Amino acid sequence: MNATLRELFDVPQRPGTVQWIGLRPARREAPVHPAEVNAIAGRGLEGDRYDNKGGARQVTLIQGEHVAAVAAFLGRESLAPELLRRNLLVRGINLLALKDRRFRVGEAVLEWSGLCHPCSRMEEVLGPGGYNAMRGHGGITARVLESGRITIGSHVQSAQAS
Checking if the pLDDT of 118 tops 70, the result is yes
Residue 49 C-alpha from the chain's centroid: 16
The predicted model gives 64-76 an average pLDDT of 96
Measured CA distances, 107 to 11, 146, 152 (Å): 22, 8, 12
DSSP state of 97: G
CA distance 133 to 125: 12
Cβ contact 147:51 at 8 Å = no
b/e map of 115-147 (b: 16 or more CB within 10 Å)? ebebeeebbeebeeebbebbeebbbbbbbbbee
Instruction: State the pLDDT at residue 162.
Output: 42
Q: How confident is the model at residue 122 (pLDDT cuts 50, 70, 90)?
A: very high
CATH of 15-157, one of 3.10.129.10, 3.30.70.2190, 3.20.20.70, 2.40.33.20: 2.40.33.20
The predicted model gives 111-121 an average pLDDT of 93
Mean model confidence pLDDT for the chain: 91
The predicted model gives 54-67 an average pLDDT of 93
The predicted model gives 71-81 an average pLDDT of 96
- Domain ranges in the chain? 15-157
